[in-house]
Amino acid sequence: MNSIKLLPGDYYVTRKNETIMTVLGSCISACIYDPAKNVGGMNHFMLPEGEGSSLIDEGARYGSFAMENTINEIIKVGGVKSNLLVKVFGGARIIEGAGSVGMRNIEFVENYLKLEKIKLVSSCVGDIYPLKVKFYPVTGKVLVKKLESLQKSSVSQREQVYSKQLKGKNIEGDIELF
């Protein structure tokens, strides 16, 4: 069985019998699927929404972009929005001094699903441990493993590095206004 690994900012949708995997700290992954049409997808976002006034956001690192793209792609390949079910994971409190990024991510995804009238069927959010998530999008099955001690600090370090890269990145790109 083919296995796809998601990093922060990624999303993937499929009708094939394959798995989608990721490791989460304060980030969120939404496993979204249509059980009637055997299609599903997963995203991995780091922040609920863009900070600042830039019109150009850098991909699915933001929750709104990740959710919209994942849902739209599922619909594009045959899923029906009213059939969609969602399982949400992550939002851990693993980075010291990072404020409430995990909680903001949790609040964002829960509010988004309510607003869009998409059913949340299960979640594992807000813990102190990072999670390894393995999603079977055709069936909706999810396997979750809590990562402890050494793995926790490793995930925390990767999230801090990624967060610093995002802050220093010019998200406007090479656009010249005239």
Mean pLDDT across the stretch 121-149?
A: 93
Q: Domain count for the chain, please give it.
A: 1
Give residue-wise pLDDT tens across range 20-62.
999 999 999 999 999 999 999 999 998 877 655 444 445 556 8
CA distances from 85 to 50, 59, 142 (A): 26, 23, 13
What is the share, in percent, of the chain residues with pLDDT greater than 90? 62
Place of tokens 């802050």: 167
- Residue range(s) defining the domain that contains residue 24: 3-168
Residues facing 146 on adjacent strands: 131
* Residue 174 belongs to some domain of the structure: no
How large is the average pLDDT for residues 101-125? 95
In a domain? residue 177: no
Q: Report the distance separating Cα 94 and Cα 110, nearest Å.
A: 20
Band (pLDDT 50/70/90 cuts) for residue 157 is low
pLDDT at 97: 61
Q: In the Cβ-directed half-sphere of 172, how many Cα atoms lie within 13 Å?
A: 7
Residue 173 covered by a domain:
no
CA 36 – CA 178 distance, rounded (Å): 51
d(Cα 108, Cα 43) in Å, to the nearest integer? 14
Task: Give yes or no for residue 139 having a pLDDT over 70.
Answer: yes
With a cut of 90, say whether residue 116 has pLDDT above it. Answer: yes
Half-sphere exposure of 31 (CA within 13 A, CB side): 26
Dihedral (Cα; 59, 61, 66, 68), 10-degree rounding:
-60
Look at residue 123 and tell me if it is in a domain: yes
132 domain residue, yes or no: yes
23 conformational bin, left if phi > 0, alpha if psi -120 to 50, beta if neither: beta
| 153, part of any domain | yes
Domain contains 19: yes
What are the Cα distances from residue 78, in Å, to 27, 42, 132?
28, 16, 28
Query: What are 53-90's pLDDT values in tens digits?
Result: 444 445 556 889 999 999 999 999 999 999 999 999 99
Q: How far apart are CA 141 and CA 139, in angstroms?
A: 5
Q: What is the mean pLDDT of the chain?
A: 84
Q: pLDDT grade, residue 149 (50/70/90)?
A: low
The CATH number given to whatever domain includes residue 85 is 3.30.1330.200
User: Of residues 3 and 150, which shows the higher confidence score?
Assistant: 3
Any domain includes 176: no
